Amino acid sequence: MSFARQTAAKEPTMPKLIMGMMRLFDYPELASPTALARWINERLDQGLDTFDHADIYGDGRCELLFGAALQADPALKKRVRVITKASIILPSHDSSPWRIKHYRGTGFHLRKGIDDALGRLKMEQIDTFLIHRPDPLADTEDMAHALEEAVSAGKIKRIGVSNFLPEQWRWLQANTTLPLLFQQSELSLLATEALFDGTHEAQLRDGLRWLAWSPLAAGRLLEGGIGRALADAQAVTGMSPTALAIAWIGRIPGAPIPVLGSMRPERIQEALSVEGEQLPRELWFSLLEAARGHEVA
C-alpha cells in the first residue's frame, strides 16, 4: 500500500467547509461568548464542526473568545473540532532588540504553542495541529519529537503543515513516524500557482488533504475580468459568485476543503449550496482564464 493510501485511511471525515476564525473580531455581533456560542451551534446545525485557529489570530484573542464560548455552552466542547497553528512570532512578541516578525521551528516553541492554545481554548485536546510556516532554521528532528510527545500525551490528535513546499513537508515526514495528513495553503481563482508547479500533485502523492485558505480571495473576485466572468457565469448557471468560486475549488482532484474566512450566515449558506454541483470543465477553464488574464498554453 502506498504512503498516500496509508495516510488517507487515517484521515477523519471532514466537512465540506472549514470555518476560519482569523477575522472573528471583524464581527462585533459575535464578540460575546454567548453570541459566539449561538453562532457555533448554527454552524453545527449545518454540518460544519471544524474551526480553524492560529495563535497569531487576534494575537491569541480569537482562541480566547472561542474558549469562552465553549464555557458558555459546555455541550459544544464535545461537538466541535479545532485546528490550530503555531511557529510565527510577531514583532510584539519578539523580546530581542530587533523586534522582528520571524519563524520559530523549535520543539520548545511548539510544546508551548500547543499548551497555550489548550489553555486559551479551554480544551483538553486539539483535533489537528499545523506548523504554520516552514522555518529555514528549524531543528526538524526536535520539532517532530515535540509533536510526537503531544500526540502521545493526548494533547493533539493529528498533525499537518501550512504553507509548506513538497520537500519541506517531506523532510518533516522523514523525521517522524506520525503521518502528516493536511497541508493548508492559499487556493482560489486568484491563487492558482500550486495547480501548475507540481505542488498539488505532490500533495496527492503524499496523501495530504488540501485545506484551502482565502478561497474567496478576500473579496477581490468581484473585481476586474474575473468579476465580469463570474457575473456572466451567474447569468447562465444561477449560481452566485461565492458559490461559483467554491464549486471551482471543488472540481479539483483530491477535493480541497475551503477554509472560509467569512462568518456571515448568508455567505456560508451560499458556499454550502454547491454540494453535489460539478462545474463543467469548460466553465472551470473559462473562469481560470478570466482570473489569470490569459488562456492556457
Is residue 25 within 8 A of residue 31, CB to CB? The reply is yes
Mean pLDDT within 131-136: 98
> Which pLDDT score, from 0 to 100, does residue 7 have?
43
Domains and CATH numbers, the chain: 14-186 (3.20.20.100)
pLDDT > 90? residue 10: no
Residue 1 pLDDT level (bands cut at 50, 70, 90):
very low
Residue 145 pLDDT level (bands cut at 50, 70, 90):
very high
> Which pLDDT score, from 0 to 100, does residue 276 have?
86
Q: Which residue has the cell 497541508?
A: 183
H or E element in which residue 213 lies: strand 209-213
Positive or negative torsion for Cα 88, 84, 218, 259: positive
pLDDT > 60? residue 105: yes
Type of residue numbered 288: L
Residue 3 pLDDT level (bands cut at 50, 70, 90):
very low
The catalytically annotated residue of 57, 129, 210, 248 is 57
pLDDT > 70? residue 79: yes
Catalytic residue list contains 57: yes
> Which pLDDT score, from 0 to 100, does residue 13 have?
87
Is residue 217 within 8 A of residue 189, CB to CB? The reply is yes
Mean pLDDT within 132-145: 98
